[in-house]
Amino acid sequence: MEHGIVARISGVTIWRWLNADAIRPWQYRSWIFPRDPLFAIKAGPILDLYQKKWEGLSLGPQDYVISTDEKTSIQARKRKAETLPPRPGCSMRVEHEYERKGSWAYLAAWDVHRAKIFGRCERKTGIKPFERLVAQVMSEEPYRSARRVFWIMDNGSSHRGQPSDKRLVQQWKTIVPVHTPVHASWLNQVEIYFSILQRKVLAPGDFGSLGELEKRIIKFQGYYEAVAKPFEWKFTREDLSKLLEKLDAHSHLKLAA
C-alpha cells in the first residue's frame, strides 16, 4: 500500500500468500557463514581422516584418529524441591528454582574409528588440563606404541596455534595435530558425543553436588563406550565443495539485494 502496488490489502491475504509459498518470516535459525578463506583446505584433511585417509594414502593399522574438545561450565544445580518422576499421563516435574553447587569443565577425546571415549572433569579449561587429557589417552595402548595419532581439535585457547602443536609433539612424538577452521565445530565428531551426553545425562539437571555430577558423567562415559559404535560419518570433501558453493551463492544473492 505504501509503494502503491495495491490500494488495500488485508493481513489474512498476506498470510495466505506467505503460507502458500512456505515463507514464514517469524521463524529463523542461527547461522555462521565460513569466514576463513582457507576453509576447504583446512577442513579437507579432517574429512579424509574420517574416511581413513591422509595425504592421499590410506591409514595403516597403527594409525589412530582422536577428536577432542571441552564442554565448559557444566553446572551442578540442586533443585529446591524434589524432582518428581514421570507417571502415566504426567511428565517429570523439575523445580524451577535451584542452588548453584559449582561447575565442571568436561574434557573429552573420542577415538573416531574405535568408538572409545576418554574424559575427565576439571575445575577449568587451560593448557595444563588439556595436557592431562592428552597424557590420559597417550599413556594407554594402543596409542602409546602407535605409529601416528591424529588429534583433531579446534582453535580454543587450550590448544591454539603452533606453540600448542610444538608442546604436544615434543612430549608425544607420534601426535599429529590437526586443527579445524574457525567456526567449524560441526566438523569435530566429539561434539556428537557431547550432544548425547547433554540429552542423556545433563538435562534437565538436578545434582546435589559437584561430586555427584562428576560421578554421573564418568559413569555414563563407561556405559556409552560399552554399547557405542563409530559414528556413521558420510560428509565428504565432495559434499563440502557443494556446501561452500551453495553458501557462496547465498552471499552473492545478499550482495545483489
Domains and CATH numbers, the chain: 39-80+93-256 (3.30.420.10)
CA–CA gap between residue 221 and residue 131 (Å, rounded): 20
| Average pLDDT of the segment spanning 197-211 | 95
Q: Specify the pLDDT at position 252.
A: 57
Higher pLDDT, 95 or 257: 95
What confidence tens digit (pLDDT) does each residue in 140-170 have? 999 999 999 999 999 999 998 899 999 999 9
What is the sign of the dihedral through the CA atoms of 119, 121, 122 and 125?
A: positive
**Average pLDDT for 183-195:** 95
Kindly report, residue by residue over 43-97, the tens digit of the pLDDT: 999 999 999 999 999 999 999 999 999 999 999 999 999 999 999 999 999 999 9
Reading the block at residue 84, the C-alpha cell is 518428581
The predicted-structure confidence for 21-32, as pLDDT tens digits, reads as follows 999 888 888 777
Residue in 100, 8, 113 with CA at minimum distance from that of residue 50 = 113
Say whether pLDDT at 138 is over 60. yes
Using an 8 Å Cβ cutoff, are 152 and 160 in contact?
A: no
What's the whole-model pTM score? 0.86
